[in-house]
Amino acid sequence: MTWQFKMDCRHYRSKDYAEIIDLFYTTVHTINAADYSAEELEVWAPSDKSDFFPEKKLAESYCLVVEESGKILGFANATSKDKFDCLYVDKDYQKRGVGHLLANQIEQYCKEEGAEIISVDVSLTARPFFEKRGYEILEQQIVLRHSQYLKNYKMQLKL
């Protein structure tokens, strides 16, 4: 089956925040459920959505949104020239090029800003995506979040 839709990549706007939070919550609780327990998912993306990352974090970073016909399909950001912070794609748009479009743009931004190496902390679920893009694992990490331990990986890409 071939997917055909027109994706637009643009900079984050504060009016996107509510839709991004919903996308983040739903994606974590569906896509990442194969690799994390219900308890781990709840501390990562709590039911109380006021405990998510602050809007200021997105507004003050290099944050991009991919949308199609006004619907946000994914978002990603870099918090500095060499730190790829996050990338999330709507559960219904996985494996359709949204993540690659966002990653390409974030990596290009970092390169243009003068980075020689980009680092990113990735989930168990996202690890294969980043490995296919040439990222190498530096170390496995165990992160404590609200009394729950989550496993992830610190990875890097040499530009």
Question: Distance of CA 111 to CAs 54, 56, 70, 105, 120, Å?
Answer: 26, 24, 29, 10, 15
Measured distance CA(23)–CA(79) in Å, rounded: 20
Q: What is the pLDDT of residue 145?
A: 83
Q: What is the pLDDT of residue 22?
A: 95
CATH superfamily assigned to domain 8-115: Gcn5-related N-acetyltransferase (GNAT) (3.40.630.30)
pLDDT in tens, the chain (159 residues): 455 568 899 999 999 999 999 999 999 999 999 999 999 999 999 888 776 778 898 999 999 999 999 999 999 999 999 999 999 999 999 999 999 999 999 999 999 999 999 999 999 999 999 999 999 999 999 998 888 899 999 999 999
Q: What is the pLDDT of residue 1?
A: 47
Q: Which amino acid is at 138?
A: L
Count of Cβ atoms closer than 10 Å to residue 124 Cβ = 16
Q: What are phi and psi of 158, to 5 degrees?
A: -85, 125
**Of 39, 17, 15, residue with least CA distance to 28:** 39
pTM across the whole model: 0.93
